[in-house]
Amino acid sequence: MIDVQNDFCPGGALAVTDGDAVVEPINRLVARSPFVIATRDWHPPDHGSFADNGGRWPVHCVQDTEGAALHVGVDSGQVDVIVDKGQARDLEGYSGFEGTDLERLLHERDVDTVHVAGLALDYCVKATALDAKRAGFDVIVHRDATRAVDVEPGDGDRAAQELRAAGVQVVD
């Protein structure tokens, strides 16, 4: 479960259109999953991706704020581990694998297939899925349980095409 946080849902600082629409399909997925990891953007207040610091994004998902919390609709009782990412000021932190122990956690549990859903398809979902594939996992992205930022119209569709070209299975 990638970054289903308040700041990426309607009313949040970096709201993805219909971002909260991923909650129900994700809850269905996690109910059937033996091991669930949720990632969170967990930025320091001076993160380099923030426009105030020369980056491209508004201030979002600052550590220990309401915006960084998982969306209230997420069945957090099904989450086994939360992996915080994006903590290094100078790294984007799009991928759940960047600077985290996610790969180790998956290997420790003999995971061979990773199901990916969450926000946003064209950034953190894509980066996490591609890194999972590079790490040797079979990867399935659940398109109905993602939404794209679509900074440029069609970014989400292009992300899905890039994922498929890399050998990631994208399903509805």
Supply the residues annotated as catalytic: 3, 85, 124
Per the structure block, which two tokens stand in for 20? Answer: 């909260």
Adjacent-strand bridge partners of 112: none
Per the structure block, which two tokens stand in for 64? Answer: 């220990």
Q: What is the dihedral of CA 77, 141, 160, 151, to 10 degrees?
A: 10
| Cis peptide upstream of residue 120 (ω within 30 degrees of 0) | yes
Q: Where are the alpha helices (DSSP H) in the chain?
A: 23-31, 102-108, 126-134, 155-165
**Contact call for residues 117 and 99 (beta carbons, < 8 A):** no
